[in-house]
Each structure stands twice: as structure tokens, then as C-alpha cells.
Structure 1
Amino acid sequence: MPRQTASTGIFCHISSLPGPFGCGTLGASARRFVRLLADRGIAIWQILPADALDDQDSPYMAKSAMGGNSAFVDFDDLAADGFPDVADYTGPSDRYDFDAVRAHRLHCFDQLSNWVRSAPAAASHREGMAAFRAAEADWLTDYVAFATIREVQGGTTPWWEWPDALRDRDPASVNHIMAIHRDIADRYVLEQYLFHRQWFALRTFATQHRVEIVGDVPIYVDGDSADVWANRGHFALDRVGRPAQLSGTPPDYFCADGQCWGSPVYDWETLARDDYGWWIRRLARAQRLYDRFRIDHFRALAAYWSIPAATPDPQLGAWRPGPGAALLTAAYAQIPGLQIIIEDLGAVDKQVFDLRDAFGLPSMHVVQLVGQSDIQQIHFLENHRAVGWAYLGNHDTPTTLAWLTTLSSNQRALFLDEIRKAVPTAETLDLDGLLAYTLSSRCAVAILCLQDLMRLGDEGTMNTPGTVGGNWDWRVADADQLPDAMDYMAALIARYRPALPFDAPVAEPGNQKPLADQKQHGDRQA
């Protein structure tokens, strides 16, 4: 039996892909990206959350945790499918200019919605939208109502400042708004209908090319979102709906002062009484969208950092117990073939690792986070778990070339000693050696950021934790750079990616189960 190469993948958000619409889309540029991966034996494309956004730029602050980001709808694919042409995008393209893209898309979706509403040639799409609306009613109805009312209220007013009847979801008041602003509501339905058509077309294309799309589920949702407006009892809010306790982290190696994210924490006791129904629906939806998905900030399921909204200083927060195994047990019982990866970085402890290990969950080892503290030891190569996923960096770290410029002489000596485990002849600490080190991991999966393969410095940084503005906007400036980056990765894989032992095959999606259902405990292949 031939030995099997461990899986490898590339981290690149959809928005970062090249293309003519101001940000990457689900159209030709995404299909080309999949083909480039497939042609070089790269099996995984990992992305950031693709949830519905509005005036927020961060993919971790969605207006609906169930909806899709309509900025990713590809207008060229729509034209090929019989939709009318839309106005060209004329805004900046070298970075993702969120305001310019939003303005362009609002105009385009208005035009398309008017066509779908009245054109004889759009009859099949009217039928498709009606079927989509019925099939997705459990989340779509609330999202469309929320988005419509929010737009009518000015587009930036949080829902807890709406008139009382709308804030409190009085059925007659909500129905009145929806009736007199049906054109706006129809546009939001169309956006979601088109996103989902194109998303599942891309998923099918990727599956045909044997490329997995790995998604991301943020642990928290924006307080000013359809999810919180429609499910107030699930969150720690005050009497009018403002967050009473805020999410965040204590000081850690990502941010010395800690972080306050501004979103409300959950009322886990209330969620437990419904057997975590909202969370189960959310995870089931992610399982439909992705081959596998990562739960961001998994440590909050063990214990979460709760910051008083009245004094939103992360250093004034406190640890509170999360749902722990109860939520995961319910999820595995109700969602067939659930495939979860976890982000277990930052201020983690034995409680987090025990919860992770009880379910045999793949976790993250990030080479840039190697250090001497207890919670940084897990990122050394010899401490990588076979069930883990190895990364050189991720969306919350600098590009590796930028990071190298920040290292002290002692750190440089430490990392040079480390990369010699993969490249014994290495004489200097450089990007090539660190990429080789990451790919040499015994982890079942190793992921590299596209920016590192393109050898980018500060200009390629995606997000700087603890900062507002200037994040999430990186794009590939020249599509012709992508084949060279993929060839570079393919050469690294051939030289440094280890073969798996015979008793540790790469699992197919859908085979992951809690260890309670397995005969053998301990590390296992994901």
C-alpha cells in the first residue's frame, strides 16, 4: 500500500482574490484558485467567515451568522446565467475598499431586484427565490426583517435604539414595515438567494477537483445583528437590548492589554434549557456550507472572559463557565458527520485542552507563537499533535517576513535552532526555512498563508488584533502571481511534507466522532 502524503492547504479569504469587483467573489477567480490548488496536489482552501456583513468590515462581526456575504456574489456569472449586465465597478481595486464596494453593490442589487420582480425572463428566478425563502425561513425571515428595518432606520442605528415596537419585534409593526418596503426586503432575499446559488456551485466545483473548503464560525456574533434581535434571551443584554456583558480576552501574547470585542456574551443557562437549539442550527448550517469548519475562540466553550459593558476595560473582566461538553455532546448527537476544527490559542489552560481531548478535536499549532511560556510550548515542532493542524502564521499574525523583522537576537537564535530540525544545513533564519519547518510537522494538516507564499511583508498583513481600521482589506494585486506562489508551495510539499504512517490514514469528511464513540483514546488522525 503506498504511503500517503499528509494534507496541505492555503489560507486565503475569498475577499483577497483578484477580480474586477473591488473584492474577490465566488466566480471565475475562485474557480481558477481551486484549479491552481488541485493541479499541485494542494487539498485544502481555508477561508475566514463568509457571513452576511453590513457596515462592519470585520468578517467576525456579521449582521447574520446564518446569512452569506453578498459582496462575494459574482456579477459576470450572473450575466452568463441570463441576468442583466450591471454597472462596472470603478472604485479602488488594489485593496478591498469596503465603502466603495458596498455602494456599488447596493446599486447593482437594486437593479437586479427590479429586473427579477418584473421581467418575464426572470420567472424561473422568482420561483427559485420563493422556494429558497421557504426552505431557509428559520433564519432568513428574521434576517430580512432585521436588515430591512435597519435600512429604513438609517442603516447605522442599532436595533436597541429603534422605536420600541420595532425594537421589541411587535408583529404588526414589523409586518407594516415589510409591506411598505417590500422592494428593500426583496433585495435582501435576492442577495441571499444569489449568494447561496453561487456558493454551492463553487462547493461542487471544488469537490470535483478534490479540494476541501474549510470555513470559520466566530464564537460570538455582533450585538447589532439579526441573531441577537430575534433571540434576545440567548444573550447577556440589558432591559432594552444593549449588551450588558461584553466578549473579549484578558492580556495574552496576542495583545498585552487584552481585547474587548464589543459583542455580547451568551446566556448559556437559557441556551441549555433549549438543548442549545440556536447553536445546533448554526453548526448544522456551517456543516452544510463547508467540508469542515473551525470554531473560533473555542476556549470560550470551556470558560469565557466577560467584561462589564459599563466599564469595557478587558482587564476588568472575569472568567465565567461556558457550556463545556454539554454543547458538543448535543451537537454530535444531532448533526451527522460533524467536522470541527478548533482555535485553541491565547489564554488557554488545562480545562480547554481536556474539553478538546474528550472529543478528539483537531487544534492549532502556530509556529510564529513558539515561546518559552507554558501556553507557547505547544507550538514547538516536537509538541505538535498528529490530530492537529500546523500553521506558520494566520490572519491574526503579521506576514512572516514582517514578523522576522520584530525578533530579538535571542528569538532569532531560538528559531534558527528550531528550523534546523527540518533543514539541518540552515545557516540563517529565513522564510524558506520556516515554511519547511511548518510543513515538516507531524500534524495531519499543514496550512500556509498565501501572503507568505507570495513573499509579502507588512503590506500583506490581514489583521492586527486590538486595532480598529486598516484591517481585512488585503487583496492579490496581480493574478499572474498566483501560479508562481502555488508552484513554490508544491516544491516545498514535495521536499518537506512527511508521509503518513500506514495506521494513520487521512479521514474523509464526515468521519469525525466524539472519542466517547471510539474504542481507542489519545491522538488520532483527523
Structure 2
Amino acid sequence: MTLSCSHDLFSTRRAGVLLHPTSLPGDWGVMGASARRFIDFLADSGVSIWQTLPIGPTHRDLSPYQSLSAHAGNPEFIDLSELTRTGLLAEHELKQSTPRHQLLSLAAQRFHDNRGPGLDGMDQAGYQRFRKANDYWLGDFCLFCAIREVQASPGWLQWPESLRDRHPDALQEFMDHNSQRLYRIGFEQFLFNHQWQALRRYARDREVLLFGDIPIFVAHDSADVWANRHLFKIDEQGEPTVVAGVPPDYFSSDGQHWGNPLYDWEAMAERGYQWWLERLESQHHLFDLIRIDHFRGLQAYWEIPAETPQPRYGYWVPGPGDHFLEACFSRFPDLPLVAENLGIISNEVEELRKRFRLPGMTVMQFGFDGSPDNPHLLNNHHPRDLVYTGTHDNDTTMGWYQSLDDHTRHYVNDYLGTTGECMPWPVIEAAFRSVCSLAIVPMQDFMGLGTDARFNTPGTVVNNWIWQLDWNLCPEDLSKRIAELVQRHERFPQH
């Protein structure tokens, strides 16, 4: 049995930046000039990893960790201005006040009507290849989204029973009456994939790799649960019997109630974990490196009964562990996985991670509780792991530092050998100095921004996921300063 992730990404020191694509400025979408500008900034800075959050279509709360699909891309990322090159849209149409969804519908109709050769694979043959390669999820996703649009309901539980429970005659009737809508949704996914792959090639040409994120759980209101109810712990009406969350921890003194339905891991195992293997395959097609969020849920997960929704009433349930990961690496021997091992992590979780040689995460902000054994403290880091100044769930490093009590702030200053005047750069420098193979810094930290630039506060539902990058706030010498840091700590991979 092979228990290794044999990938060279962790054999050399690299630097990365954490920035979700929704934070990029762009009037018509981000997967064009806006993302290319950011990649150029990374390349000029000597940064070779761009880490994002999950890139699926979101609900109204905008959380990328509660997506409508485990496979689909967010059509809001599509850069409509790029479609002027292919003739699917005209420049003057972008300057009018036409809603975005109408412009996408117009582009879809023109693409459907033009059956000749297209530019850069944007033709019917390319579209059919895309549909065939993704038929294991695309059809259900298009149908789910189309019904969701027509029903205009808060979730699939509120649909008519025949659609909620996927009666074949009802689904066929719906498809017969909504063929254009279904085509447009499929075209959006084709367009997303086309622009993302072009962006990935652009990044690779500049020696920048893309680092993605897989939430361990999926949203209840998603195509995945609607189309695969037999794989989740839900009742005959589609209601979850238990839901996911976490007990009280660093982020929340009361624990967290995520509300995601939990997997029926026995049903998953009986099918050889095929649903999960397909999920990994679709993400591996998009990214060079993949993080599994809440990795500890594979060893044991916090199960909260639906009838007692307070997180403190939950309990630990054994996860699929070795059996699941063996299936993953049997299918994908060189799968470049990273384990998110933050929060309440038992020895059993770490033993599972280490058996499969999966890199884990350390966070500089977590290292200063005064314990010499704290795994996040700089001198306790390990070479194959990743080090972050902070994550998308943390305050910015400047905001964190300013919120510390006097005793902890003096400890941070003493440990890092600073007076604190140049924060957050002493923390960034320490992360780059770490023995961890990959050092990642949120863009807000490189810009020296405070709490106002925080991206997410766990346990809250407002003012999250909305921070936007303003290039005007970046110091003119920022790229040069980062490049000097990369060189000083030998984090530019040599070829």
C-alpha cells in the first residue's frame, strides 16, 4: 500500500499569496485583464503560488464554503469584456445598462446560433467536448439551477414534490419547456472553464501555480445533495437528520453550527467513494495544489442533531480515515493535497495526516499563547508544512496585532525582535524565515491593512466575503520589497 503524496511542490521553498478572485477589481468580471494583472504582480514579486478559496457559485451570503455545486465554477468570475474578442458581445453592449445575466444569455444565444469554427476552442466542438468530459455533474447542475430560477424559492425542499424528489416524468417535462435556460447555464460553465484554463496557462507561463480549496462538506441547497440524497444523512423529505459544525474553539466560544448535511460514509464506501473521486478530479483539473478544508472531519467529525441545533449538543463521530484516503491515492497517486489541520486537532488526526505524508498548516497569529510547545510557534515548524501569517478566517495581521493585550504584544515583539513599528512586516519576515516549504501571506497583510480589510469573521453572517483590492493602496515599491524577501529567504524555486 502506497501512503505518500509524491509531488515536488513541497520539495522546494516557495512563497504564495492568498487572495480570493472576488476581491479583484473588475467591472465585467475578473478572469481577464484583472486576474492577469494580479498574476503579473505575483511573478514580478517572485511569488509562485496563488491561493484562492473555493471558486463555486455561491448563495446570497456570498460564502465560497456554501456553494451550489462541488464542481461548477462561479459565473460571476466570467469576464464579459473578453467576449468581445470572440464576437459574442459588442463593446457598445457592455457600455449600456444591460444586466449581467442578460448579456450572458445574449452571448449564449449567439454561440448557439454560430456553428462555425470559433476562436481559441470557443466553438461547438469544444463545447461538446466539455459537456462529455463533465457529464458526471454538469447535467444535474444545469437542471438544479434552472429549476431554482423558475421556482424562485429559498431551496429545493420548497419545490413541488415531483421536482424535489426527481420524478423522471416531471424532470423531462421541465427540460422540454426550459431548453434555452438549460443551454445557457451549461454555456456559462463552458465559458468559465475556458477562461479559467486560459488564466491557468497564463499563470504557468509566468511560473505561478494555482492553489485551490475543497470544503469537506457541501451546502444542503446544492445540486450535489439534491441529485445524490442517498449519499447524505437526510430523511425522506430531504431534511437533514444531523448537520455539521464544530465544538467551541479559538474562533468561537460557543462552537459553530454550519448546517451542512453530513455524508453517509457507509453509502459512500459501498460505491467506492466515487462521488468524492469525481470531486477531486474536477478540482485537479482546475488547480495545481488542493487544500481539504476541515481535514480533521475525515478522522472524526462533529455531528449536531437537527432537533437540538446548538453546537454544544454535538458529538464526535468516526470518519472514513485511512480507507477513504487510500481510495483517493489509489485513483490519483500524485494528488497534491494539503490538510487544513487547524482548530481542535487530536493526535489521531495528525497521525492520519502523517501516514499519508500530507502537508499541514501553521498560522503565525496562533503561535503566541506562551506555550513553548505551540505547533504554530516559529521554532516548532516542520519543513513539509505550510506557514501563514493569517488565513481568510483571521483578522488581518495588523488588526490582530493592534487587538493584543499588552502582555502578548510584548511577547510578540520580544520573540520577533521588533518594536512593532513596522507591523505586519516582522510577522511576514518570520513566516518567510520559517523552515516550512511554503509561506503564504494574505494580500491584505502585504498591503499593511487593518481590521477593516478582514475577509471573514467565523460565526457571523454579515459583512463577510466583500473586501476588494484597491491597487491604489499598494505601495509603489511593494513588488520589489516582496521580491527582496523572497530572495533573502530562498523562496524562489530554481529551475
- TM-score norm. by structure 2 comes to 0.92
Work out the CA distance in 2 between the residues paired with 1:40 and 1:372: 32
Counterpart of 2:344? 347
Q: Report how far residue 132 of structure 1 moved.
A: 1.9
Measured in 2, the distance between the counterparts of 1:220 and 1:486 equals: 37
Residue of structure 1 in register with 2:3 after alignment? none
Name which of structure 1's ranges 268-277 and 368-377 shifts more when overlaid on structure 2.
Answer: 368-377
Matched-pair contact (CA < 8 Å) for 1:450–1:485: no
8 Å CA contact 1:299–1:352 kept in 2: the answer is yes
Q: 2:110 aligns with which of 108, 115, 126?
A: 115
Matches of 1:461 and 1:494, distance apart in 2: 28
Aligned 8 A contact 1:75 1:85 in 2: no
Map of 2:72 onto structure 1: 67
2:423 maps to 1:416: no
| SS of alignment partner, residue 68 of structure 1 | coil
Q: Structure 1 residue aligned with 2:385, among 388, 395, 409?
A: 388
Which residue in 1 is equivalent to 2:315?
318
Alignment of 1:429-444 (within 5 A): 430-444=423-437
For 2:99, the aligned partner's letter is H
Post-superposition offset of 1:494:
3.1
- Partner residue in 1 for 2:45: 40
CA RMSD of aligned residues (A): 2.4
- Describe how 1:131-146 pairs up with structure 2 within 5 A: 131-146=129-144
Deviation of 1:334 after TM superposition, in Å, equals 0.5
Alpha-carbon distance change, 121 to 75 in structure 1, aligned in 2, over 3 angstroms: farther
- Paired with 1:482 and 1:271, the residues of 2 have a C-alpha distance of 50
Q: Do structure 1's residue 485 and structure 2's residue 457 form an aligned pair?
A: no
Cα contact 1:370–1:376 (8 A) shared by 2: no
Aligned-partner Cα distance in 2 for 1:188–1:119: 18
State the match for 1:161 in structure 2.
Answer: 158
> Which residue does the alignment assign to 1:356?
353
The 8 Å contact of residues 438 and 446 in structure 1, kept in 2 or not, is answered as yes
Report deviation, 1:347.
1.1
Amino acid at match of 1:428: G
Q: In 1, distance between residues paired with 2:160 and 2:416?
A: 60
The letter of the residue matching 2:462 is G
Match of 1:106 among 96, 101, 106: 101
Q: Does 1:284 align with 2:276?
A: no
Equivalent residue number for residue 236 of structure 2: 239
Q: Residue 89 and residue 15 in structure 1: after superposition, are their counterparts in 2 closer, same or farther (change >3 A)?
A: farther
Structure 1 residue 471 corresponds to structure 2 residue 478 = no
Q: Deviation of residue 477 (structure 1)? A: 2.3
Residues 1:50 and 2:55 are matched in the alignment: yes
- The 5-angstrom pairing of residues 253-264 of structure 1 reads 253-264=250-261
State the distance in 2 between where 1:201 and 1:181 align: 31
Q: Taking structure 1 as the reference length, what is the TM-score of the superposition?
A: 0.86
**How far has the Cα of 1:166 moved from its partner?**
0.9
* Shift in Å, 1:206: 1.0
Q: Conserved in 1, the CA contact under 8 Å of 2:30 and 2:79?
A: yes
Candidates 3, 12, 18, aligned match of 1:11: 18
CA distance 1:327–1:51, change in 2 (3 Å): same
Per-residue deviation, 1:374: 7.6
Q: Distance in 2 between matches of 1:127 and 1:174?
A: 27
1:423 counterpart residue number: none
3-state SS of 1:84 partner: coil
Q: Name the CA distance, whole Å, in 2 between partners of 1:375 and 1:310.
A: 42
Q: What is the CA–CA distance in structure 2 between the aligned matches of 1:507 and 1:237, rounded to whole Å? A: 51
Q: Which amino acid aligns with 1:450?
A: M
**In structure 1, what residue type is equivalent to 2:128?**
A
Q: Which residue of 1 aligns with 2:7?
A: none
CA deviation string 1:96-125 (max 9, x = no partner): xxxxxxx93322212212222335668763
State the number of aligned residues.
480
- 1:305 Cα deviation from its structure 2 partner: 0.5
CA distance in 1, matches of 2:174, 2:411: 62
Aligned residue number for residue 366 of structure 1: 363
Which piece of structure 1 moves more, 344-353 or 364-373?
Answer: 364-373
- Residue 512 of structure 1 aligns with which residue? none
Distance 1:89 1:264, change over 3 A: farther
Give the residue type in structure 2 aligned to 1:460.
A
1:104/1:250 CA distance change after superposition, 3 Å: farther
Amino acid at match of 1:360: R
Displacement of 1:126 in angstroms is: 3.4
Higher relative contact order (CA 8 A, sep 6+): 2
Please say if residues 12 and 47 of structure 1, whose CA atoms lie closer than 8 Å, have aligned partners that are also in contact. yes
User: What secondary structure is seen at the aligned counterpart in 2 of 1:64?
Assistant: coil
Give the letter aligned to residue 103 of structure 2: C
Partner Cα separation in structure 2 for residue 90 and residue 478 of structure 1: 26
For residues 242 and 354 of structure 1, what CA distance do their matches in structure 2 show?
35
Q: Point out where structure 2 has 5 or more consecutive residues left out of the alignment.
A: 1-10
2:419 matched to which residue of 1?
427
Shift of 1:255: 1.0
d(CA) in 1 for partners of 2:276, 2:356: 18
Which of 326, 330, 335 is the equivalent residue of 1:333?
A: 330
Instruction: Tell me: CA distance 1:204–1:274, structure 2 relative to 1, closer, same or farther (3 Å).
Output: same
Measured in 2, the distance between the counterparts of 1:319 and 1:375 equals 29
